[in-house]
Structure 1
Amino acid sequence: MLSTSASATAAPFSLEDYLVATCSLAPAQARKAAQKAFHEATKDCKKKAFEELSHSRLNSASNPNAVLELLSGVGLSRADIAAIVAADPLLLRSLTKNIGPRLLDLRDCLSLSTPQIIRFLLVGSCALHICHISPKLEFFISLYGPFEKVLMVMKKNKGILQSNLERVIKTNLALLFATIVSKMPSILGTSEECLLHKIQFLINKVGLEPQYTLGKPTLLGCSLEKRLVPRYCVMKVLLAKGFLNSNMSFYSFVQIGEVTFKFRYINYHKDSVPGLADAYAKAHAGVVLSEV
C-alpha cells in the first residue's frame, strides 16, 4: 500500500508535490504528470473535470488518498499505482463511491487479473472508462447471449443443466468481455448505439460470425462510415470481378493503412475497374453504390 500523508498543511494543495511525496514519482516525472493533467483537463470536454480537480476534489489529500487505497485494495503494487497515476493523474479526482465499485467490477465481475487491470488503467481517460464497465457488460450479455446459447446447444453440452445454462452463458460472456476490455479499453467509451450498428453491419452485411466479431475487437473500434462500409464496398467489387484473393479476410482488409490501401486496391485497379475510386469516395460520404 502506498504511504499517505497524515498531516495537514496550510499551504494550497499541489498536485506536483503530492505526486512526489505520496506516489513516489521523481520530481521531473511529477512535473510532467501535473502538466499533462492541466493539458488534458483544460480541453473543452474536460474543463469541468479540471475545475473539480483544482477546487474541490483535490483541495486536500483526503480524496486522492482514498483512491490510492482502492487501487492498492485490488492488488496493485506501489510501482503499479505510481505508473498508473503518472499516466493519468486525473484519476485521483474520481469520487471513491464511483471508482470503488468499478474497480471491484474489474477484479470480481469481469475476473480481470492484476496485470489486466494495470493495462486497463494505463489507457488514457480510465476514469471515464471505469464508469461504463457495468452497462457495457450488460449490453454485451444481452446482445451475444442468444448466439452463445445456440452455440452451446449445437455443441450438445449435456453436462450443463438447463437451469444453470443462463448463469454459464453470462459467466463465459463476462470472461470474453474481460478479454476484449483488456485488449481495447477504449471500447467502453463508445456508445451502445454505435456499437450495435457496427455489430449489425459486421454480422448481417459482411457475414461475420458473432463470436468472430468479439474475437476481433479492433473491428469495433473502426469507424463504420469511414472505414468499415467503404472497405466492404471495395472488397465486394474486387471479389466479384476476380481481382481479390477469396482467402482475404475482411479483418485483414480493414487493417491495411489508408495510404497503402488506396495504392494497392484503388489506384492499381483504376483502369480495370472504372469508377472504383469514385465509389470509394462516395462511400466515405455515406453513399454506397450497389454496382461499379
Structure 2
Amino acid sequence: MASKLRRFTQTLKTQNRSLSTNPSSQILTPTNQSQYRKRILLANLLQRYGFPSSNLNHFLSRNKFLLNSDLSETETSLSILLSLKIPQNSLVSLICDCPNVLRSEFLKKWRVSLSECVSSSAIKSVLEHSSRIGIGPDKFYECRKVLKKLGFCDSTVSRVLSVFPCVLVVNEIEIRRKIEFLIGIGIDREDIERFFHIFPEVLGIGTETRLKPLLDEFKKMGFSKDEIKKEIGREPRVLGLELGELSRCLELLNALKCREVIRVGILSEGAFRAGFEVKLRVDCLCKYGLIRRDAFKVVWKEPRVILYEVNEIEKKIEFLINRMGFHVNCLADVPEYLGVNLRKQIIPRYGVIDYLKLKGGLGCDIGLKGLIKPSTRRFYNLYVKPYPECKRIFGKRKENARVKQRHPAGLWKLMRPPSHQATNEDVANMKSFIGSLA
C-alpha cells in the first residue's frame, strides 16, 4: 500500500514538472479548437455569399487577417458590398482579387461615395483599384466632378470608371489635353464623349510621348490626314497602337501567301483597316498565352483568321483549351485550326475522336494535326465509315446522295415553248430542201 502511494506521488510530481517546463501545452488544444471553429464559421459565411467551397481553403490560408478579425465585422463588410448591387460573380471575383475590401475601415470610407455610381462594374473597378494603390474617396469625388464638368453623362462616367479606373489619378489638365488633341485631328466636339465611351484607355496614354508620335508615324507611312481622321473616328482603339506596330502588321499583309479571294476580302476596307484587324487578332492570341512572335506566325500561316470575328476566334481557343485539353502553343504548329468552322467541322470531328478514344477504337493518340488536317472525305473514311454509331455524332452524310435538283420536278413542261403544227406547205418545202441536199 505504501509503495502504491509513493508511485502515485511520483507520477503527480512528473506531470507538474512537465507542465511547468512547457506551459504552452496547457493552452495548445483550446487555441487550435478556437481557430478551427472560427475558420469553419468564416467559411460558412463566405459560402452564404456565393464563395465557391473549392477555393475557400486556399483563400483563407493566404488571407489570415480574416481569421484575426471580428466575424461580425466581416459579415458587415459583405452586407455593405451586397448593398452596392454588385452581382454575385463579380462580388466573388472582387474578394478573390482584392481581399482588402473586406476590411471594415476601408468600406466605411467608400460606402457613401460609391452610392453615386451608376453601374455595378464601375463600383467593382473603383474598389479594386483604390484598395491596391491606397487612394481615398476624395479622389473619386474630384474625378467625377471633372468628368461631369467636361459634359460627360452618367453612363459615360460609369463606363470610364469601369474600364479605366486609373482615371482617378489623372488630373484635369491631362484630360483637357486629350480633348484638344482629338479636336486638333478633326474629331467633332459632339463626338468626343462617344470617343471616350468607346476607348476610355486613351486617358492613360501620354499626349506628347505617344499620341503625337503615333500620328506622325501614320503620315510617314503614306496615309493622308483625312484617311487617318476617318479611321480614328471609326475605331478609336487605333490610338492604342504601339509605335511601329501598324507597320509590322502591314509587312505581314504584304508577305501573305494565300488565294486571291482571301487577299481581296482582307483588303476590302483598305490597308489601314486591314493592318488594325491583324493587330486585334494578334492581341487576342497573346491574351491566351501565345508569345507575340508565335501570334504573328499563326496569322501569317492562316490568313483566314483575319476574316473571322474576334469573338469567334476566342470561342475556338476556349474550346481547344477547356474542352479538347490542348495547350494554346499547339496553334503555332497547327494554325489551320483557327481557319475552319467551329460548329460544322471542329465539334463533330472532336466528338467522333473522343467517342472512339473512350471505346478503345483508336490504335494511337490523335493529335490536333490529325484532327484538323484531313479532308472531310478522308476523315469520314478513316474514323466514321468503319463505325456506324459515329455517323450520328459526325452528322448526316450519304455517300450516294443524289444531287439536289435546282428546279421542281415538271417545271420543264411549263417552260417548254408551244409546239408549231406543220402545214402541207411546210412539208413540201422541207422535202424540196432535202432533195437539193441529196
Q: TM-score, normalised by structure 1?
A: 0.48
Q: Which has the higher contact order (CA 8 A, sep 6+)?
A: 1
Q: Who wins on radius of gyration, i.e. which is larger?
A: 2
Q: TM-score, normalised by structure 2?
A: 0.34
